[in-house]
Structure 1
Amino acid sequence: MKPNRRTVLAQAIALSFAFSGRASAATPQPLFDKVNSAVGMDFDARGNLFVAEWGAGRISRFAPDGARTTFAEGLSGPSGLAIAPDGAIFVASYSSDLIWRFTPEGERSTYVTGLATPAGLSFDRAGRLMVANRRSNEILTVENGALTSVIKGLNTPVGAVQTPDGGFVVSNIGGGVTILRPDGTRVEAGGEFNTPGPGITITQTGRVFVVDYGGTTVREILMDGGSRAVADGFSSPVGLVITPDQSALLTATWGERAVFRIPLPS
């Protein structure tokens, strides 16, 4: 299933990075290969895709025309990645218990330290950076250098998003997906998962998708606690992001070491 370079480049060129093209529902299309243990993925305002390659210790940038460059390297365990509206790129170090902040030009600084195996990063609806703090079993927010615990008592969280109604959905690599409703009630979902992974993303309309790192699927989370597979046949999908035009999901796989495009199902 691993795409060769010719296939990857042909797909990238023919689809102009494939973000507006349509294919049959849930038919994954290979975009890039030789992506080493990718975890965090996000887009900047110019449509560049940034990928945190945990296994290579680097951040790769894929331009809208498919061109690949190394944005940063020599990093220790880069995991979660999230890009702020001002263009700042935040990257969690799974190995060093900290988060870096990069300028769009690649200048690096340490943003916050003292974490406990930080995994996925995202932003809440107020624009605060959220961290899935795996070892402490909680979701934190970071604001002006201060850490605040938002959700506690989780089962090894590795990714989280906030829903339009103010609730949260958390991917737990220890098992299951936690839906936290605005009134504080919890629903433990994801019984169909083998092992939920760090890849979790939300559309502008509030649909939530999570990778099954221990399996072969990307699944949509249903707010009643169920889920449905939207794509299958991957080898340990890890990273996940929605494209800027909301037409597709991109997932990075551990097994194929590739990035695939999944047309967003209805």
Structure 2
Amino acid sequence: MPLETVTTGLQFPEGPIAMADGSVILVEIRRKTLSRVAPDGTVTVIAELGGGPNGAAIGPDGRVYVCNNGGLGWIDLEGGIMVPHGAAADYAGGCIQAVDLQTGTVEVIYTECDGRPLSAPNDIVFDRQGGFWFTDLGKENDTTRDYGALYYAKIDGSFISRQRDRLSWPNGCGLSPDESVLYVAETWTGRLWAYDISEPGVLKAPEVSYMPGRLILTLPGYQPFDSLAVQATGDVCVATGVNGRITIISPGGAQQEVPIPDFITTNICFGGADMKDAWVTASSTGILYKTRWDTAGLKLAFNG
């Protein structure tokens, strides 16, 4: 698939949202902002978020909900390549934020669950009931790391539930077309998990007690997974690092690959009238790409 460079110079872009006007809203993790990229590549800042804004999604009230990981450390390589490394020196905890697109007003919705602070919220997806699932990757430093977790919450701050605990690097998340399955990509293991949903916001108990869900696929070698998006067919498109690509995975575990020229390819989103316009964040190089996808993306519960 030929790639069009929409814009360059982004500060580690992630969490893209395709908007009806052709623009893309995304976070710039290193810049600590929610930004808008116009079709002509012009970048404007919507809000200053602080910490480390990561996954983002439109909620039922039209605001953008952001998983903020609390801030990352950075390594700068030759050629302007940016690589995240552990927690920022001023890391003070993760949170869920909501941003009014008209005013840029930022509200912190959640900082903890049942008295336990959020560590590093990473990715988010809304269901049709207006609640949202989100992953918490966990933070690490030179000697220790937090476990990750999987949460469900409501936008008014009234309810948050930890649905899975003691997970290893849960990153991208997305719902199947019928919302009966939550897919979660596990970063350093290169695994895609499926979690069966019994009712909105509640996961079924795992079929095997020592596994968090149903294992769909484990990639061979060292191929870390990042964020994901689901196609209308139900296949899952997972951004894949080191080799730089989008890995398209069927619910049965079959896979195909679309190469992307960045070893830290982090996310994909779909939009356009036929949902076949795709935007990909190439984060280490700070580029947003656009392409035409062979298969339509799944239309999300709430859209810009």
- Bin of the TM-score, shorter chain as denominator length: 0.7 to 0.9
Distance 1:128 1:204, change over 3 A: farther
Q: Output aligned runs, 1:32-181, within 5 Å.
A: 32-73=7-48, 75-95=50-70, 96-105=93-102, 106-114=104-112, 115-135=118-138, 136-143=147-154, 144-145=156-157, 146-165=159-178, 166-175=180-189, 176-181=191-196
Shift of 1:220: 0.7
Shift of 1:65: 4.8
Shift of 1:171: 1.0
TM-score normalised per structure 1: 0.81
CA RMSD, Structure 1 to Structure 2 (Å): 2.2
Shift of 1:261: 1.5
Q: Provide Cα deviations, 1:112-132, integer angstroms capped at 9, x if missing partner.
A: 112121111221343212211
Shift of 1:72: 1.4
Is the counterpart of residue 189 in structure 1 residue 200 in structure 2?
Answer: no
Rounded Cα–Cα distance in structure 2 between residues aligned with 1:74 and 1:180: 31
Verify the 8 A CA contact 1:44 1:87 in the aligned structure 2.
Answer: no
SS at match of 1:240: strand
Shift of 1:47: 4.0
SS at match of 1:170: strand
Q: Provide Cα deviations, 1:43-77, integer angstroms capped at 9, x if missing partner.
A: 34544311100011112112345432111125211
Verify the 8 A CA contact 2:188 2:223 in the aligned structure 1.
Answer: no
Which piece of structure 1 moves more, 92-101 or 183-192?
183-192
Residue 240 of structure 2 is matched in structure 1 by 212
Is the counterpart of residue 263 in structure 1 residue 292 in structure 2?
Answer: yes
Verify the 8 A CA contact 1:157 1:172 in the aligned structure 2.
Answer: yes
TM-score normalised per structure 2: 0.72
| Percent identical | 19
Verify the 8 A CA contact 1:179 1:189 in the aligned structure 2.
Answer: no
Indicate the structure with greater helix content: 1
Shift of 1:170: 0.6
What runs of 5+ residues in structure 2 fail to find an aligned partner?
A: 71-92, 113-117, 139-146, 198-203, 208-213, 296-304
